[in-house]
Structure 1
Amino acid sequence: MSDTIGFLLNDSARLFRRAFNARTRDSGITALQWRLLIYLRRHEGIRQGPLAELIEVEPITLSRMIDRLEEAGLVERRADPSDRRAWLLYLAPGADELLTAMRATTDALNAEATEGLTAAERDQLAALVERVRANLSRRECLKEEEAA
């Protein structure tokens, strides 16, 4: 095999984003906005700074994304009771319907991407990629601790 695992994963992610964006063009939601909404669902009440770190964008970029999603009725900013300068982010009630509808799109895309794999192979692939992610996350945490 001439391609490295990193190259294959990165290139696959790029192709996933492209296919996702093509399928969701009419909805107005990009792959990055989708990722933001998914992370926000998992971490409701998070501040903008930590969310920007999670999705790996600059805080100003996230702020603009939140502005657009707030205008679309998908995200709410609420004052942080412990710090009046900060905002906590929540999904707006209208986001649930969009997330449910978009799930069908992501399920279809995943099915297309794993076409020809058995259920056991899909499970194994997910487990192996999860292990790679965990390995890299652990190393990243160690680097951050060493830098502190």
Structure 2
Amino acid sequence: MDATRLREAMMSVTRQARRHRPAHALTLSQMTILGDLDRHGTATIAELADRSQVRVQSLTLSMNRLDELGFITRTTDPSDRRRQLIDLSDTGRKVLAGDRVTRDAWLASAMAELTDTERGVLMLAVPVLGKLADF
């Protein structure tokens, strides 16, 4: 089935990309939080949980660790003092950028082994994969 073959191929590439992450000792959940904050900006814990499709309680340990490391900042929401607004700190932004640079370098190196036609096919698939990611 086409869907199975595509899923398996995407998962294999994803696993390889994860193997080529820098040794910063952050979990996938913690990196996901940093990436979400980078893409969407300031958020509440509830918004982060919703976008990650997890419960707020599931993010508590990750959020505390990211805060301890200085990778996020927490401020009180001026419109509702019971809520906290979470943002990416400069340190968190640097860690995230370093992670992306390392994984991009791995991918560029792997792509260099492909033929021009194979690289062209991959680049044609990028917008289509983006559409799939939005479902």
CA contact (8 A) 1:76 1:90 kept: yes
CA deviations over 1:59-87 (Å, ceiling 9, x no partner)? 11112211111111101111101111111
In structure 2, how many angstroms separate the alpha carbons of the residues matched to 1:5 and 1:30? 29
In structure 2, how many angstroms separate the alpha carbons of the residues matched to 1:112 and 1:30? 24
Aligned residues: 132
State the match for 1:9 in structure 2: 7
In the superposition, the TM-score normalised over structure 1's length comes to: 0.74
Q: Which segments of 5 or more consecutive residues in structure 1 lack a partner in the other structure?
A: 137-148
In the superposition, the TM-score normalised over structure 2's length comes to: 0.80
CA deviations over 1:4-41 (Å, ceiling 9, x no partner)? 4266336623651x434433362112333222111101
CA contact (8 A) 1:48 1:59 kept: yes
CA contact (8 A) 1:21 1:30 kept: no
State the match for 2:60 in structure 1: 63
- Would you identify which runs of 4 or more consecutive aligned residues in structure 1 move more than 6 Å? none
State the match for 1:95 in structure 2: 92
State the match for 2:45 in structure 1: 48
CA contact (8 A) 1:24 1:30 kept: no
Q: 1:8 to 1:32 in 2, by over 3 A?
A: farther
CA deviations over 1:104-130 (Å, ceiling 9, x no partner)? 122034336655264432221111111
Taking only aligned residues, the RMSD between alpha carbons, in angstroms, comes to 2.4
Q: Which segments of 5 or more consecutive residues in structure 2 lack a partner in the other structure?
A: none
Matched, 1:125 2:125: yes
Compare 31-40 and 72-81 and name the one that shifted more: 31-40
Q: Which has the higher relative contact order, 1 or 2, with Cα contacts under 8 A spaced 6 or more apart?
A: 2
SS of 1:96's partner is helix
State the match for 1:29 in structure 2: 26
In structure 1, how many angstroms separate the alpha carbons of the residues matched to 2:90 and 2:64? 16
CA contact (8 A) 1:45 1:90 kept: yes
In structure 1, how many angstroms separate the alpha carbons of the residues matched to 2:39 and 2:83? 20
CA contact (8 A) 1:80 1:86 kept: yes
